[in-house]
Structure 1
Amino acid sequence: MKEDTVLYSSKNKIARITLNRPHFLNAINREIIWQLGEAMDKARSDDTVSVVVLTGQGDAFCAGADVGLLKELSKASSTEVYRVLRELN
């Protein structure tokens, strides 16, 4: 079963997007990149949302990139690295 690494809620014109990997200090991996993109698309397409709040579950907002992702990217082609970084933007 896929873990929800990003949580989304919307109320009173405010979308709240929460990074949900507290056991890894919300470090960014491929799954979080994909789910964060989906959550941002959802907020962007919702005409009732005026503000997006990005937060992290647990003790840290985000520890940065997951070391495992960095290891994967070091072996990937420059095209693949660009695609992953573009998804973050």
Structure 2
Amino acid sequence: MIIVKVLLSVTLLIVSLLGFFCTFSREKDDEYFSEMVNDGSGISTAFGLVGLLILKLSKFIFPKKWYYNVFRVISFIFAIFILAIKILIWFVDLKIM
């Protein structure tokens, strides 16, 4: 069971680090996430799809000067949520029957 927890922790840590990277890096445009989707390397593709979807939705819903800041806030909340799940994994007993 400890191996499952370690593998889940490492995977979720990578996902949360990608979320923090998008939050605190310079402005990213649609091309950045499109390249991640076209890369086809698994977790990068999944995160690229999520990032592209969130960026397109925030562009559609919010004004031009606010959409990227909204995207950063959503990325930060997503990264914190994934990090909390990573921490909670160690407090939950994963007995599979």
TM-score (norm 2): 0.29
Q: Which has the higher contact order (CA 8 A, sep 6+)?
A: 2
TM-score by length of 1: 0.31
Q: Give 1 or 2: higher helix fraction.
A: 2
> Higher Cα Rg: structure 1 or 2?
2
